[in-house]
Amino acid sequence: MKFPKFLKYVLIFAVIFTFGWESSSYYLIHKTAAGTQNIDESEVSPVAALTSLINSSDKPEADLTIFWQVWGMLSESYVDETALNKQKMVYGAIKGMVSALDDPFTSYMTPDETKEFDQSLNGELEGIGAELTVREGSLVVVTPLKDSPAEKAGLQPGDIVYKIDGALTSELTLFDAIMKIRGEKGTNVTLTIVRGEKEPFDVVLTRDKVNVESVSVEEKDDGVYYISINQFNDSTKPEFEDILKDVILHDPKGVVLDLRNNGGGYLDISVDILSELLPGQIPAVTIKRRLEEDNETLYVSGAAKLATVPMVVLINDGTASASEIVAGAIQDHKRGIIMGETSFGKGSVQEVAKLPDDSSLRMTIAKWYTPNGKSIDHVGITPDIEVKFTDEDAESGTDPQLDAAVKYLKDLQ
C-alpha cells in the first residue's frame, strides 16, 4: 500500500512516558493536514489483511504458510483454550512483524496503546514526567520534564532504567515497561538506575499530574533575557509570541534560548519558532524520502521579530527532534551561538496511520536534514562552545551553562 504525500508533520517522542505513557523513543510523525491518516477498513482489518496477503496474486516474498500452520496448531492444541484471544494474537503477530525491522522509531500500537498515546498529545499528563527511549537495548532517560516527579527525584538524561519495581526492563516489552511505570497520582514506583560507572541505585518516585509550561521567560542582568522552551506543542507558538512582544518592548541586548531537555514536539511549531528568529525566507529544514521527487524543504516566514538580537542557544543530550531542528537551523545560518553539550541525535521522519480498529502504525518514511544538508541522526548537534553540566552542578543547584551563556552575551556589549 502506497501512502499519499502529506502536508503536515509532527515531531514527538514516540511512546511518551512524560505524558500519559512515559516514553520509548522519538517520533517525527508525518500527518495529513486534517490529522492522522485513516486507512480503509477493507484494506487493513487485522485478520483480513493477513488472509488477503495469502490469497493475493501480488504475494509477499516471504512464505506465510508457516504462520498459518502455527496459528492452527495453537488454535487446536494449546492447553489453555481460554488464553487463545485471536485478536490479541493478531496484534502480537503485527508487532513482531514491525519489530523485525529493527527500527525503534517504527512501531505498531494496539487500540489501548493508541488511546494512551493520543491522550499524551492532548496534554493529559500523569505519571513520573520523564521521556525515555530504547538505546542499544536499554531503557534510557532522554529527559525529565521541568518540575516533574522525575526531575525532583534527580533523574538525568542518559540514565539507564535497569529495573522497575524489581523487574528487569530487559525482560519486559516496551509496553509492559510503560504500564509498570504508569499509575495513579500519589502511588510510588521504584526505578533502579544505572548512571555512568556508578553502582546501580534505587530511586523512589511518587506519581503525579505533570503540568508542563511550554515557554517561560526571565530577565537577567544588563538586558539579557532567558527564554526556555520545554516542548513544541499547540500552546508553544502563542506563548512564544506573547513573550517576544514583551521582550521586544524592553529593547533586549541579548537572548538565551534554552532547549536543554526538550524532547521535541510538532515540527510545524519548530518552524514557527524559527520564523521569529531567522531573517528572510530561508530554509528551516529539508525532508528527504525514499523517492527524490518527494523531497521538500520547509522555509521560515520572513517576518522575524527577533532577527538581529544576539542569541545563545543552550543544548544537551536531552535536546532532541524538533528542538534539534531549531538548534541546527540557527547554527547553520550562523544566527546565534550553540552552547552546552552534544544533542541527542534524532533525524528521522515517521508517518502515523490510524487504522479502523483504532490501532495505529507509526513508520519511518524519511530523514530530515539541517539547512546545510547535514544529518544529525545518531550523531547530534555539536555545540560551538562546549560547557559541561556535572552531577555536582545538579546537586549544588548551579547552572554553569546558563551562566556561561549570559556572560557571553554581556561580554558582547
What are 266-305's pLDDT values in tens digits? Answer: 888 999 999 999 999 999 999 999 999 999 999 999 999 9
Q: How confident is the model at residue 36 (pLDDT cuts 50, 70, 90)?
A: very low
C-alpha closest to that of 25 among 100, 95, 105: 105
C-alpha closest to that of 339 among 387, 376, 277, 407: 387
C-alpha closest to that of 19 among 210, 251, 287: 210
Distance CA 307, CA 120 (A): 33
Q: What pTM, to 2 d.p., does this model score?
A: 0.77
> Tens of pLDDT along 201-215?
999 999 998 776 789
What CATH fold (topology level) applies to the domain 126-209?
Pdz3 Domain (2.30.42)
Q: How confident is the model at residue 24 (pLDDT cuts 50, 70, 90)?
A: very low
Distance CA 142, CA 231 (A): 13
> Tens of pLDDT along 109-132?
899 888 876 765 555 567 898 877
Contact between 172 and 42 under an 8 Å Cβ cutoff? The reply is no
Report pLDDT for 258. 97
Distance CA 80, CA 77 (A): 9
Report pLDDT for 84. 95
Share of the chain above pLDDT 70, in %: 82
**Average pLDDT rounded to a whole number, residues 379-402:** 93
Say which residues have a Cβ less than 8 Å from residue 397's Cβ, sequence separation at least 6.
none
Q: How confident is the model at residue 179 (pLDDT cuts 50, 70, 90)?
A: confident
Comparison of pLDDT for 10 and 138, the residue scoring more: 138
Report pLDDT for 48. 57
> Tens of pLDDT along 312-342?
999 999 899 999 999 999 999 999 999 999 9
C-alpha cell at 287: 525532508
> Tens of pLDDT along 302-319?
999 999 999 999 999 989
C-alpha cell at 214: 511550554
Contact between 313 and 339 under an 8 Å Cβ cutoff? The reply is yes
C-alpha closest to that of 85 among 54, 93, 358, 171: 93
Comparison of pLDDT for 105 and 68, the residue scoring more: 68
Q: List, in sequence order, every residue forming a beta bridge with 363; answer none if it has no partner.
A: 351
Distance CA 157, CA 316 (A): 9
Residue 329 backbone phi and psi in degrees, to 5: -70, -40
Distance CA 351, CA 361 (A): 8
When mean pLDDT is compared across 62-66, 93-97, 282-286, 405-409, the lowest value belongs to 62-66
The neighbour count for residue 236, using CB atoms within 10 Å, is 21
Domain ranges of the chain: 126-209, 215-348+368-412
DSSP 26-43: EEEEEEBTTBSEE--HHH
- Output the CATH code of domain 215-348+368-412: 3.90.226.10
Distance CA 273, CA 310 (A): 16
Distance CA 361, CA 158 (A): 27
Active site members:
321, 332, 346
Distance CA 319, CA 306 (A): 22
Distances (CA, A) of 54 to 14, 50, 57, 99, 356: 32, 7, 8, 21, 21
Distance CA 383, CA 367 (A): 21
The H-assigned helical ranges of 143-186 are 149-152, 174-181
**Average pLDDT rounded to a whole number, residues 58-81:** 87
